[in-house]
């Protein structure tokens, strides 16, 4: 830790010297075997200050290439991962962060590196109508942050993102379940709604999932199962509009505020 603090102080001085040199018309220093790691760090930081994050990241990785296994290389790799993320370059950010974890798995920046890996997927999460592979991978990587680095600041940052990603996957299950429900594929729909109820914790999708189970079971003629799920809605979500819809469906065979009968259910609610 002391070495890193010294390194950062040296970096500040180097940045000032580099800026001064450029100001005298010397231009940017070229990077070769004769360029010190401190000089390259200063050049990279100058690119960061100009928000040229890709160029900064490339310069940081030059330190790893020219001075491998040094404290400057360790610092530079994690800085490269951060800079690539700022540039919106998720793949290269992930590659740099994974490389850091390969070489420095128990170092002081390991939690940050793992968090950056998770963010490289999390930042690419798309709406539930599209493929959720990035959401699934984000969950996996965020779980590692939480479980392997529980006392780090990054575990605290990862927790709400983990919940968001989990809710996103639950939303995808609901979307597919509704698709099956609309097309009369009730058994397939049950599998999706059951998954939301049993595998996704206290997701906001729970009230609707229970209601959709009521719909699907009634459509299959399984009245007892429908009643069981309707009772759960009453107990757990008494004030939910989905509870009102399920109670109406159980009592009258119609959706609340609809004219559809038990076997002509309205499935156009999103």
User: pLDDT (tens digit, 0 to 9) for every residue of the chain, 270 residues total?
Assistant: 544 554 554 444 444 444 444 443 344 447 888 999 999 999 999 999 999 999 999 999 999 999 999 999 999 999 999 999 999 999 999 999 999 999 999 999 999 999 999 999 999 998 877 889 999 999 999 999 999 999 999 999 999 999 999 999 999 999 999 999 999 999 999 999 999 999 999 999 999 999 999 999 999 999 999 999 999 999 999 999 999 999 999 998 766 543 333 333 332 333
pTM metric for this prediction: 0.79
Domains of the chain: 1-89 (no CATH), 172-252 (1.25.40.10)
Nearest to 244 by CA among 222, 269, 220: 269
**Cα 68 from Cα 99, distance rounded (Å):** 12
Structure tokens at 217: 């079971």
**Cα 120 from Cα 84, distance rounded (Å):** 10
Quick check: helix, strand or coil at residue 183? coil
Structure tokens at 64: 């790893």
Which are the contacts of 22, defined by CB distance < 8 A and separation ≥ 6?
28, 46
Residues in the chain: 270
10 Å Cβ neighbour count for 207? Answer: 20
């Amino acid at each position: 830790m002391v070495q890193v603090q010294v390194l950062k102080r040296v970096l500040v001085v180097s940045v000032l010297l580099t800026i001064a040199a450029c100001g005298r018309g010397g231009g940017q220093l070229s990077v070769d075997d004769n360029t010190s790691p401190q000089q390259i760090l200063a050049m990279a930081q100058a690119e960061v200050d100009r928000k040229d994050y890709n160029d900064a990241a490339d310069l940081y990785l030059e330190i790893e290439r020219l001075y491998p296994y040094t404290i400057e290389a360790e610092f530079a790799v994690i800085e490269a991962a951060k800079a690539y993320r700022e540039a919106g370059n998720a793949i290269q950010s992930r590659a740099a962060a994974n490389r850091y974890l390969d070489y420095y798995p128990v170092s002081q920046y390991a939690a940050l590196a793992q968090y950056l890996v998770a963010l490289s997927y999390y930042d690419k999460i798309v709406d539930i109508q599209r493929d959720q592979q990035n959401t699934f991978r984000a969950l996996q990587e965020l779980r590692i942050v939480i479980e392997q680095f529980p006392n780090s600041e990054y575990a605290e940052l990862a927790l709400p993102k983990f919940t968001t990603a989990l809710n996103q996957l639950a939303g995808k299950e609901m979307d597919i379940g509704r698709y099956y429900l609309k097309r009369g594929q009730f058994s397939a729909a049950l599998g999706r709604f059951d998954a939301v109820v049993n595998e996704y914790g206290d997701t906001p999708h729970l009230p609707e999932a229970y209601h959709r189970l009521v719909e699907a079971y009634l459509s299959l003629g399984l009245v007892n199962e429908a009643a069981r799920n309707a009772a759960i809605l009453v107990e757990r979500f008494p004030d939910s509009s989905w509870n009102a819809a399920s109670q109406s469906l159980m009592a009258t065979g119609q959706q609340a505020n609809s004219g559809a009968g038990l076997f002509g259910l309205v499935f156009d609610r999103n």
